[in-house]
Amino acid sequence: MDKKVGFAFLYILIFPALFILLAGDLFWPAGWIFCTWFVVLCFSTILYLYWKDPALLEERYKKPGTGNQEGWDRYVVYGLLIGFILWIVIMPLDAGRFGWSPVFPLWLNGVGIAFLGGSFFLFFRSYTDNTYLSPLVRIQQDRKQQVVSTGVYGFIRHPMYMGGILMFIGAPLLLGSLYGVLVGLVVTILRMARIQGEEAMLARELEGYREYRQHVRYRLIPFIW
């Protein structure tokens, strides 16, 4: 586990260098704001799990195709990974190096910062509130999985997905990348489709999940969906 955490920290530290290199601008304020946000989120989450919930940290390292993962979800995971890579590459090339997108107004950049703030909160609280937060759609029989309905899970059923959506839309708004927003929307649609499959599995196989859906009625956005 220590080696995995060490490699994770190394990859995270390399991220800002690659991002700024693609942008071609060492003094790109918006790029550095996003990189700092990303590094702080990753470091704080990993350190929290390492000290407080090592079982969840181990779960987060599970590879696609393991641990009785739903067969269809393997393809979704790879799709999300490809979408993330495209998103990370396109944003600095667009907003930093080539300027394909028109200049965004400052208020839209501010919306992006607000979205990233909400994303940070939902990401971190999802990890602290739900010890069964697997990266794979699977029933964790090996960990005696139970329904979690407290904390942020008392307001929406998929707070981590909502945190991801806010990140995928908020970052390109901050950076000024229209193409980043478009990729983020595609990834959002894929996440929403995954929710449908995941909830069908949970309602079928996890005791108490049907009742939880009646108690917490909204998947991502209260009063909307």
Single-letter amino acid code for the residue at 159: P
Taking the C-alpha atoms of residue 217 and residue 180, their distance in angstroms, rounded to an integer, is 31
Single-letter amino acid code for the residue at 140: Q
150: closest CA among 215, 224, 206, 219? 215
| Residue ranges with strand state E in the chain | none
Domain segments of the chain as ranges? 2-215
Domain at 2-215, CATH class: mainly alpha
Q: Phi/psi at 5 (nearest 5 deg)?
A: -65, -40
Least confident of 5-9, 122-126, 212-216: 5-9
Note the pTM of the prediction, 2 decimals: 0.93
Express each pLDDT in 56-81 by its tens digit: 999 998 988 888 999 999 999 999 99
What region, left, alpha or beta, does residue 144 occupy, with left being phi > 0 and alpha being psi -120 to 50 degrees?
A: left
Tokens 């069964």, located at residue: 132
Taking the C-alpha atoms of residue 104 and residue 177, their distance in angstroms, rounded to an integer, is 8
**What are the angstrom distances between the C-alpha of 207 and each of 149, 201, 202, 211, 219?**
13, 11, 8, 9, 18
Q: How high is the pLDDT of residue 66?
A: 87
Express each pLDDT in 20-40 by its tens digit: 999 999 999 999 999 999 999
Express each pLDDT in 91-120 by its tens digit: 999 999 999 999 999 999 999 999 999 999
